[in-house]
A and B are shown apart, each in its own frame.
Chain A
Amino acid sequence: MNAAIVGIGATDFSKDSGRSELQLAAEAVRAALDDAGLEPSDVDGLVSFTMDTNAEIAVARELGIPELTFFSRVHYGGGAACATVQQAAMAVETGAAKVVVCYRAFNERSGHRFGQVQTAAAANIDNSWSYPMGLGTPAAMVAMFARRYMHEYGATSEDFGRIAVIDRKHAATNPHAWFHDRPITLDDHQASRWIAEPLRLLDCCQESDGGVALVVTSAERARDLPNKPAHVKAATQGSGVDQFTMTSYYRDDLTRLPEMGVVARGLWEKSGIGPSDVDVAVLYDHFTPFVLVQLEELGFCGRGEAKDFIKSGALELDGTLPLNPHGGQLGEAYLHGMNGIAEGVRQVRGTAVNQVADVEHVLVTAGTGVPTSGLVLGQL
């Protein structure tokens, strides 16, 4: 695409930010603009999640962004993350806007916690087939898939736990990570309490307060800006057959994520690369089991083979497919996937704390179990 991410910004990641969600959004956007070497007056587009509480106009007011010609929101929770960049890139390509900032900010730990049962969500007619039956948390909804996956492929709780161990290992050397300097062992994972069997506490990502913003502009303009741009090689959304939000239980096969399959096909086709060309994978990791399914859906290994692929060491920093070098959402922070995109940009720039050598292409995915999105970032 004729678009690049030219600036990244974030607040601190905490459990109690002590400030409003709007302030977090404004701080993150300002930091991203500073990083891009641009002014608020350069911005004419804003994109966020429908779940974000910060209206585009409110963010524009705080930043002193005078006029907007493009503003948009993307639906389906964390599935929106990479799609915000797709929206921005399309706006830049079509001339709808020249500089678009994507942002996500929340007090997800000190304020509204997604991990609690959202009684109000049962008002949604789709949710009336799950919430009243007692299935009302994201962890439990993923656990239903995970149990079937274990049944069909013989995967174990330890196989899920290895993802948590890798993420926490990477977070341990990332000073911005909440779990900096706090790695875990597989035994720690196995000793952690049940949340929704077969998911343990350490299969579930943390809850965080914070904000992340990304600045997108055209490839031409990107070349004139101070930081090395991350070219948006491909960006796509995906929704699959008989799609629900978190509860797509009525498809033939519960061991897959067809919506991520749609994303994978789109990314490989548009970018012209394939799984073997990916140097770093930033895979959405709100719950460990779906990282295994993503590895299969994206074509890094065969169906049911993710557990063996992981055991081979492929996801280590020196492996064939380094996973979440920033620590992911299990280790760094839960920012609805936006911090993962920022890490993708750093890996392309060569400025990450856990930098992988000679990065040509980074794959980033968004929320799983929901209609989702993905990005291939690379050198311009």
Chain B
Amino acid sequence: MTDKAAIEKEAARIAEQGECAPRLARDPVNQPMINNWLEAIGDEHPGYTGTAPPAMVQVWTMAGLHGQRTLDDPLGAMMSILDEAGYTSVVATNSDQTYHRYLKVGEHLSVTTSLEDVTGPKRTGLGEGWFVTTRSTWWVGDEAVAEMRFRVLKFKPAHAPRPETASAQSSTPAVQPAPPEVQAIRPSVNRDTEYFWEGTRQGELRIQRCGGCGLLRHPPGPMCPECGATKPKYLVSEGYGVVYSYVVHHHPQVPGKQTPFVIALIELDEGVRMLGELDGVPSVGQRVEVVFTKVDDDLTMPSWRPRADR
């Protein structure tokens, strides 16, 4: 069976299951959450005392910071299937909501979701992907109070051209655009580590080099353990190395990452080791090269990809 046929078959199976079991909101509709939401959105309408803004309906049934999808959640099931088929990235595209009435403080919502449609594969600017559409209904008891049609694009990220095929090859690796779902954990940066993150912003992988004895060191620190000098400098790595060890992370979910994913401990050709995500099938000894992914103006993350031996 082709990938396309297999995905469509799974989609039909999940759609046939219909609505998942109602999932109860963590808290009833409540004024403190309404106040927080109004503040965050910047809505100064005075009327929301005892009555919730209709547009925050989705807030009431959010799973929370550590929430996990229920087993019968059709969106989660479809996402897993597309993950396995290599469509690992996600971006929400449409969210159409219908409100049947205002919600009152004290009402306790539940939500049900069904899979409506899965279409693809489509070529998009982000890469080849599938549009997944779900329909959710919010309930107070057996009264439907709001509905939503929700569509996401689940796609294979389009990669920057490999160096060997790039027409204009530069001496430093290309900076790729960040995948749109990134909300990854950010590094703390201080005086001792700023040079590293300044480097990644410029597409440079910097290794601390002691200004006294020349010792290369990663992770860096303010005082050289060999000679005691406190004037660290750096060199710019060629950006090549080998996989010294690696982990394929499956559970639990990691913010900003789609499981499973690979984290590798890279031994750089310069001799120091460094952790980073690895885009590829890992093996110890695998040759790799650095890739820079811009998260925003302040942060560019280094990661790794396999490198053909030349």
Contact = CB atoms under 8 A, between A and B. Distances in A.
A147 interface: yes
Given A125-B193, A128-B188, A194-B250, A134 B263 contact: yes
B263 A135 contact: yes
A171 B189 CA distance: 45
Contact of A250 (B219, B249, B254): B219
Query: What band does the interface of chain B fall in when counting residues whose beta carbon is under 8 Å from A?
Result: 35 or more
A136 interface: yes
Contacts of B246: 144, 147
Given A135-B275, A254-B244, A254-B245, A116 B250 contact: no
Interface string A110-132: 00010111010011111111111
B310 interface: no
A251 to B, nearest CB: 9
Contact of A125 (B185, B192, B252, B272): B192
A131 B184 CA distance: 9
Contact of B189 (A113, A128, A249): A128
Nearest to A118: B185
Contacts of B272: 250
B108 interface: no
A134 B249 contact: yes
Interface in B185-206: 185-190, 192-193
A133 B263 CA distance: 7
Given A143-B247, A147-B247, A250-B272, A116 B252 contact: yes
Nearest to A124: B188
B251 to A, nearest CB: 5
B265 interface: yes
A122 B188 contact: yes
Interface residues of A, number: 37
Interface in B273-304: 273-277, 284, 301, 303
A133 B189 contact: no
Nearest to A195: B251
B185 A249 contact: no
Q: Is the interface of A mostly helix, strand, loop or mixed?
A: mixed
A246 to B, nearest CB: 12
Contact of A132 (B185, B192, B219, B249): B185
A111 B249 CA distance: 23
A203 to B, nearest CB: 12
B273 A122 contact: no
Interface string B254-280: 111100110101000000111111000
A129 B274 contact: yes
B66 interface: yes
B122 interface: no
A70 B260 CA distance: 48
B28 to A, nearest CB: 22
Given A116-B66, A249-B265, A250-B218, A145 B255 contact: no
B190 to A, nearest CB: 6
B248 interface: yes
Contact of B257 (A125, A134, A195): A134
B273 A250 contact: yes
Interface in B46-104: 66
- Sorted from nearest, which 7 A-B pairs have the closest CB atoms? A128-B187, A197-B248, A148-B245, A143-B247, A194-B250, A132-B187, A122-B185
Given A133-B277, A193-B250, A193-B251, 15 more contacts: A113-B66, A122-B186, A130-B275, A133-B276, A133-B303, A134-B184, A134-B277, A135-B249, A136-B185, A137-B254, A145-B245, A147-B284, A148-B265, A195-B250, A195-B251
